[in-house]
């Protein structure tokens, strides 16, 4: 950030919210168009409220590029040179203070910072003036004029002006530690951000928001992605647990963009303490995304697919193998058994249990034997192991 916005860092990094979106470069399917439109509306809302919060929005997609942007490399180079000059200045000032104190003398300000030091400081400050606006992209794209992301950013007038409360950085390359601009891998980068935004228009499942949940990072998804539908079905008020679900099934594009902007604005208004609590609550949902719990859905889907194309004798062998595999799945964790802290938004108890008596009653009910259910032709329709997992997830209501 300091290198990319060198000369235009007129906002406080401590009061900056870092958002990001990443994945395949599918402009419409991944909801990039909706994300940029919502950022433009968020920018206007923050300026109208005269908010001191700044949003830095990163877009990480692997596009067709020629080379790094010269302005980005120059900013990084000057920032590193400033760090080195500051380090040498600190050593000189520290040595002067040490010598003065060891002689029993309290130094004056003029004795600590000499004329040559002040000249070097002024040269760095004046040298940063007059730089062009921070680029909205870190690379030179093959077809800059027709690139959909850059065209949308320009149409929405997101140019990283000093008055903009939303700053955008389009990085058309996957992250890696050897990158001179963002020298880090994806996991490290994601953990350093506050919110992941993935407003997909089509997504069979959606690994990126699921990865955010596992890492304890709040994220935005939609009800047109498998992950968003799954969370919406199993968790009530999922936004309190760091999953904001945007309705894109029936509303128009404008309505979805406004809803996304409102959700991001609400996230920006949270205090630091509220964000920390929400982040901790998000990470508690990671057990639900473990393959030990979700793997059975894949097993069932594969079993149904094979049953439609294979002969009956092979189906019987697959059925036996399926039973042996299902017995290895563990019971899915229940949200009711998690040690959930109080909600950052209200003081309502997070647990659905009112007393220890309720816990004992539920434990007795869970111990009741449940038999496997077969249809008329002997096909397994419902198993005890499947019921254990279902009861651990679907009957859990989160408040």
Q: So where are the chain's domains?
A: 15-66+137-283, 70-128, 290-393
Name the average pLDDT for the chain. 82
Q: Which residue is associated with the tokens 């399917």?
A: 29
Q: What is the C-alpha separation between 80 and 2, in angstroms, rounded?
A: 10
More reliable by pLDDT, 216 or 296: 216
Closest to 55 in 3D by CA, of 20, 18, 21: 18
- What top-level class would CATH report for the domain 15-66+137-283? alpha beta
Please determine, for residue 64, whether its predicted confidence score (pLDDT) is greater than 60: yes
pLDDT in tens, 329-373: 444 454 444 444 444 444 343 433 444 444 444 444 444 444 444
Q: Which of 27-31, 189-193, 300-304 has the lowest mean pLDDT?
A: 300-304
**What whole-number distance in Å separates Cα of residue 243 and Cα of residue 67?**
36
Q: pTM for the whole thing? A: 0.76
Name the band, by pLDDT with cuts 50, 70 and 90, for residue 398. Answer: very low
Mean pLDDT of 376-393: 45
C-alpha closest to that of 51 among 275, 267, 271, 269:
269
How many other CB atoms are found less than 10 A from the CB of residue 23?
A: 20
Phi-psi region of 34 (alpha: psi -120 to 50; beta: other; left: phi over 0): alpha
Q: What is the pLDDT of residue 360?
A: 44
Give the separation between CA 257 and CA 41, rounded to whole angstroms: 8
Rg of the chain on CA atoms, in Å: 27
Q: Could you tell me which residues are beta bridge partners of residue 59?
A: 21, 170
Report the greatest alpha carbon distance in the chain.
98
Give the pLDDT confidence score for residue 190 in this predicted structure.
95
d(CA 370, CA 373): 9
pLDDT at site 343: 43
CB burial readout 290-318, b (16+ within 10 A) else e: eeebbebeeeeeebeeeeeeeeeeebeee
Give the pLDDT confidence score for residue 387 in this predicted structure: 43
Residue 244 confidence (pLDDT): 96
Scored b (16 or more CB within 10 A) or e, 51-81 reads: eebbbbbbbbbebebeebbebbeebbebbee
Task: Measure the N-to-C terminal CA separation of the chain; round to a whole number of Å.
Answer: 38
Cα separation, 218 vs 210, in Å, equals: 10
Determine which of 137-141, 245-249, 263-267, 282-286 has the lowest per-residue pLDDT on average: 282-286
The CA distance from 275 to 267, in Å, is: 8
- Give the tokens for residue 70: 């010269």
Q: For 206-262, what is each residue's pLDDT tens digit?
A: 999 999 999 999 999 999 999 999 899 888 889 889 999 999 999 999 999 999 999
Task: Say which residue the tokens 């309502």 belong to.
Answer: 348
């Amino acid at each position: 950030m300091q290198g990319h916005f060198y000369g235009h860092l007129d906002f406080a990094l401590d009061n900056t919210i870092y958002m990001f979106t990443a994945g395949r470069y599918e402009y419409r399917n991944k909801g990039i168009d909706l994300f940029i439109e919502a950022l433009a509306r968020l920018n206007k809302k923050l300026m109208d409220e005269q908010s001191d919060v700044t949003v830095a929005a990163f877009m990480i997609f692997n596009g067709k590029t020629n080379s790094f942007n010269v302005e980005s490399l120059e900013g990084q180079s000057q920032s590193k040179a400033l760090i080195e000059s500051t380090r040498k200045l600190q050593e000189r000032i520290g040595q002067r203070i040490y010598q003065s104190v060891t002689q029993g003398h309290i130094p004056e300000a003029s004795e600590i910072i000499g004329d040559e030091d002040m000249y070097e400081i002024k040269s760095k400050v004046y040298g940063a003036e007059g730089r062009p606006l921070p680029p909205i992209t870190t690379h030179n794209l093959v077809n800059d004029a027709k690139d959909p992301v850059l065209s949308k950013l320009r149409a929405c007038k997101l140019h990283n002006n000093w008055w903009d409360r939303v700053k955008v950085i389009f990085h058309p390359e996957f992250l890696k530690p050897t990158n001179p601009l963002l020298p880090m891998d994806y996991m490290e980068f994601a953990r350093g951000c506050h919110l992941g935004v993935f407003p997909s228009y089509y997504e069979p499942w959606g690994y990126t928001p699921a990865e955010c949940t596992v890492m304890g990072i709040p994220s935005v998804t939609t009800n047109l992605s498998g992950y968003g539908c799954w969370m919406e079905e199993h968790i009530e008020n999922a936004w309190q647990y760091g999953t904001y679900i945007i309705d894109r099934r029936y509303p128009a594009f404008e309505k979805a963009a406004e809803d996304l902007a409102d959700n991001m604005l609400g996230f920006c208004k949270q205090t630091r303490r509220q964000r920390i609590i929400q982040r901790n609550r998000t990470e508690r949902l990671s057990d639900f995304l473990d393959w030990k719990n979700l793997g059975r859905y894949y097993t069932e889907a594969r079993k149904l697919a094979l049953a439609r194309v294979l002969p009956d004798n092979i189906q019987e062998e697959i059925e036996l193998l399926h039973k042996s595999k299902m017995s290895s799945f563990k019971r899915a964790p229940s949200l009711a058994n998690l040690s959930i802290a109080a909600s950052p938004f209200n003081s309502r108890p997070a647990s659905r249990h009112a007393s220890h008596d309720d816990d004992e009653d539920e434990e007795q009910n869970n111990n009741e034997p449940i038999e496997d259910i077969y249809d008329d032709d002997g096909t397994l329709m419902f198993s005890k192991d499947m019921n254990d997992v279902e009861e651990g997830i679907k009957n859990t209501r989160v408040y």
